[in-house]
């Protein structure tokens, strides 16, 4: 009965994280739009934060509570799952086109950042506050680069007509602020409930927090990416599917672990070295597959799902 309650609490925590992130992004986007902040800035900051908010809330809450294995395994598990499982499913639904900017910069940069995470963690035995600050500096550089790249691509395009001013009563700031506050509160409470439930489940089944973080928690926090990428593939907006995943993986390391490490140093145990190497290999494989073809085929999708099945089976065998 007790374990059933913990699984129920885990599900409730996930729902609160998803809905809270959705309301937070909606409210923040409305406020930014109301004050004339460019949409590209909104997309690259607020929306990107929203999809990574569940991972951030889980990792920060876990680190503060001393559940350090859950803090890192959540990010590594999400990054592996994002590529192998989510992109695999999306590619099977519809072959995914990949933008040149993703091939030339985004995927290689995420690959290098994953190597940096391994180096910082394995060599020092923990992610320090200085590591967190470095991750944040890299994140700011990446956002600035993306904004400039987007503006450059729009140079020479015909000027779009300005949006009409909102009618009186539309986009009321107080409603948007309420969404931000309620959404933020749900993210905080949801992460707290999720961490407690996941830890209780791990103890009840004799499983370590690393395994729970790499599987159950990683899947729950990757739900926004799963829905976004699969829906984009169904609508044949395939470049969105790949860009969403690569951007999420980059944010998970630079923003989620960067923020967590700045708040409190995170112990990096030797058990994470293999998972980190897998995350690095996954990004390298993605880059090799799309480097020439500029797309992920259905065959690539099947390969990704098969590799994830092998990885998951290995986790269960060694649990």
Please check whether residue 161 lies inside any domain of the structure: no
Query: What is the structure's pLDDT at 124?
Result: 83
Most confident of 34-38, 123-127, 159-163: 123-127
pLDDT tens across 229-254, in order?
777 777 776 666 777 788 888 989 99
**What mean pLDDT value characterizes the chain?**
81
Residue 118, both tokens: 């391994």
Among 120-124, 144-148, 158-162, whose mean pLDDT is lowest? 158-162
| Domain range enclosing 241 | 2-152+174-317
Contact (CB, 8 A) for 60 and 259: yes
What percent of the chain stands above pLDDT 70? 83
Please check whether residue 36 lies inside any domain of the structure: yes
Please check whether residue 268 lies inside any domain of the structure: yes
Please check whether residue 168 lies inside any domain of the structure: no
Please check whether residue 38 lies inside any domain of the structure: yes
The rounded radius of gyration (Å) of the Cα atoms in the chain is 20
Task: Give the pLDDT band (50/70/90) at residue 36.
Answer: low
Residue entry with tokens 């960067």: 258
Structural domains counted in the chain: 1
Please check whether residue 157 lies inside any domain of the structure: no
Inter-CA distances, 298 with 4, 93, 97, 303, Å: 38, 8, 12, 9
Please check whether residue 162 lies inside any domain of the structure: no
CB atoms within 10 A of CB 313: 10
Phi, psi at residue 96, to the nearest 5°? -105, 120
Please check whether residue 25 lies inside any domain of the structure: yes
pLDDT tens across 57-114, in order?
778 888 777 777 778 888 999 899 989 998 999 899 888 888 887 888 889 999 999 9
> What is the Cα–Cα distance from 49 to 203, expressed in whole angstroms?
31
266 membership: H or E segment, kind and range: strand 266-267
> What is the Cα–Cα distance from 43 to 49, expressed in whole angstroms?
9
pLDDT tens across 275-316, in order?
999 999 999 999 999 998 888 899 999 999 999 999 999 888
Supply the CATH number for residue 221's domain.
1.20.1420.30
């Amino acid at each position: 009965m007790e374990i059933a309650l913990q699984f129920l609490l885990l599900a409730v925590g996930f729902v609160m994280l998803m809905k809270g992130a959705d309301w937070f992004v909606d409210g923040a986007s409305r406020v930014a739009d109301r004050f004339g902040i460019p949409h590209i800035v909104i997309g690259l900051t607020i929306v990107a934060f929203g999809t990574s908010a569940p991972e951030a809330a889980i990792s920060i809450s876990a680190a503060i509570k001393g559940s350090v294995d859950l803090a890192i395994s959540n990010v590594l598990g999400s990054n592996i799952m994002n590529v192998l499982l989510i992109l695999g499913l999306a590619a099977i639904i519809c072959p995914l086109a990949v933008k040149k900017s993703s091939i030339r910069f985004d995927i290689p940069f995420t690959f290098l950042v994953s190597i940096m995470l391994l180096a910082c963690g394995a060599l020092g035995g923990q992610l320090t506050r200085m590591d967190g600050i470095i991750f944040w500096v890299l994140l700011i550089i990446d956002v600035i680069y993306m904004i400039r790249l987007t503006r450059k691509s729009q140079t020479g395009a015909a000027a779009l007509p300005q949006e009409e001013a909102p009618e009186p009563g539309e986009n009321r700031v107080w409603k948007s602020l309420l969404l931000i506050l309620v959404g933020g509160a749900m993210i905080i409470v949801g992460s707290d409930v999720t961490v407690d439930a996941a830890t209780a489940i791990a103890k009840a089944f004799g499983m370590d927090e690393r395994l729970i973080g790499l599987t159950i928690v990683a899947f729950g926090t990757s739900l926004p990416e799963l829905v976004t990428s699969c829906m984009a593939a169904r609508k044949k907006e395939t470049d969105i599917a790949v860009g969403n995943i690569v951007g999420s993986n980059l944010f998970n390391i630079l923003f989620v672990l960067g923020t967590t490490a700045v708040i409190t140093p995170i112990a990096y145990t030797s058990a994470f070295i293999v998972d980190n190497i897998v995350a690095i290999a996954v990004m390298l494989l993605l880059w090799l597959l799309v480097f020439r073809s500029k797309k992920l085929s259905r065959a690539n999708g099947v390969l990704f799902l098969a590799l994830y099945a092998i990885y998951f089976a290995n986790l269960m065998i060694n649990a």
